[in-house]
C-alpha cells in the first residue's frame, strides 16, 4: 500500500486514533469496553471483566504459546510451513503475533484490531513495535480482510470482544472474504469458542467447500479450531509433520510438534 494513496492516509489516521479523541470507540463509532491488565503468579492476562480472560501469557516468557488453542491454530503451518505474509484478525495479548515474529523471520505479519484500548497495551504484553515485518492496524476486521484479496499464505482469525465473536466476523460474507484473502494454496485457522460453532463451520464449508474444512477440538477447553484452505485438499499420506517442523527453529518445533501430529491424525494420516 503506497503512502500517498487515500487508503494509505486513512490507515495512518486510524493508527493515530488511540492517542486522540477516538480512544473510547472503534472506527465505526461503537463504544468499546476498556480492558485491563492483571498480573498474578507467573502470569499476565488481558481481561475485560474479572471472570473473563481474553489473553494470558507467561510474564517471563512472553513469546510462549501458553493457551492450547493458540498452538492448535498454528497447526495450519503443517499445510503451509513458510508463509510469506500472515494476516491476523484480533490482537489481544499478541500471543500468535509474537510467536510468528520470533520464529517465522521470512514472514510479513499484519494484525488488525478494532479496539484502540487493546492496541495501547501492546508493550505490556511484549508485542514488538511496528517495523518492516510487523504492522498492527486499527480497523474493523471484516472490512480489513475484504480489502486484502489474495494476500495471505496464512490467516489466523481470533477476533473476540467481551460478548464473544462479534457479529461482523460471523457472517457468510466474512468467511467468503477470508477465502478470497488467501493466496493460492493458502490456509486459514479460526478459533470457534462459541455456542453456535456448528453454524460457523457450515458457513466455512459453504465458502471453501466441504472437503476443504477440517475441525479439531480442544481436549482441555471448549474451543474448536477450524482449518480451511484454498487449492486441492492434501492427501493424508502427503502430510509430513517432520518436514514442516524442520522449517522451524528448535524452540518452535518443541511447541508445535504435538499439534502437527494431532492435525495430521485428524486428516487421517
Active site residues: 158
Closest CA to 106 of 125, 120, 123, 86: 86
Q: How many CB atoms lie within 10 A of CB 20?
A: 9
Cell of 264: 495430521
**Rounded-to-integer distance, Cα 188 and Cα 174, Å:** 13
Q: What's the DSSP call for residue 238?
A: G
- How are beta strands 108-113 and 134-138 bridged, if at all? parallel
Sign of the dihedral defined by the CA atoms of residues 190, 191, 192, 198, in that order: positive
3-state secondary structure of 25: strand
Q: How far is CA 92 from the centre of its chain?
A: 10
Q: What's the DSSP call for residue 121?
A: T
Amino acid at each position: 500500500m503506497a503512502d500517498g494513496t487515500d487508503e494509505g492516509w486513512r490507515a495512518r489516521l486510524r493508527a493515530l486514533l488511540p492517542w486522540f479523541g477516538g480512544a473510547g470507540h472503534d472506527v465505526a463509532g461503537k463504544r468499546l469496553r476498556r480492558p485491563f491488565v492483571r498480573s498474578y503468579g507467573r502470569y499476565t492476562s488481558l481481561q475485560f471483566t474479572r471472570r473473563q480472560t481474553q489473553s494470558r501469557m507467561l510474564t517471563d516468557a512472553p513469546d510462549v504459546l501458553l493457551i492450547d488453542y493458540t498452538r492448535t491454530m498454528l497447526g495450519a503451518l503443517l499445510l503451509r510451513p513458510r508463509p510469506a505474509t500472515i494476516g491476523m484478525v484480533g490482537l489481544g495479548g499478541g500471543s500468535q503475533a509474537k510467536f510468528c515474529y520470533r520464529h517465522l523471520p521470512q514472514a510479513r505479519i499484519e494484525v488488525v484490531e478494532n479496539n484502540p484500548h487493546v492496541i495501547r497495551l501492546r508493550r505490556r504484553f511484549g508485542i514488538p513495535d511496528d517495523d518492516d515485518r510487523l504492522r498492527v492496524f486499527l480497523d474493523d476486521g471484516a472490512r480489513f480482510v475484504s480489502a486484502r484479496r489474495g494476500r495471505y499464505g496464512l490467516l489466523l482469525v481470533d477476533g473476540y470482544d467481551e460478548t464473544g465473536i462479534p457479529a461482523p466476523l460471523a457472517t457468510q460474507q466474512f468467511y467468503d472474504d477470508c477465502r478470497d484473502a488467501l493466496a493460492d494454496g493458502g490456509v486459514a485457522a479460526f478459533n470457534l469458542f462459541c455456542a453456535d460453532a456448528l453454524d460457523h463451520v457450515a458457513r466455512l464449508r459453504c465458502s471453501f467447500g466441504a472437503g476443504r474444512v477440517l475441525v479439531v477440538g480442544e481436549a482441555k477447553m471448549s474451543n474448536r479450531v477450524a482449518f480451511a484452505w484454498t487449492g486441492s485438499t492434501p492427501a493424508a499420506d502427503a502430510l509430513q509433520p517432520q518436514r514442516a517442523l524442520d522449517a522451524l527453529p528448535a524452540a518452535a518445533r518443541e511447541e508445535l510438534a504435538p499439534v502437527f501430529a494431532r492435525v495430521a491424525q485428524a486428516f487421517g494420516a
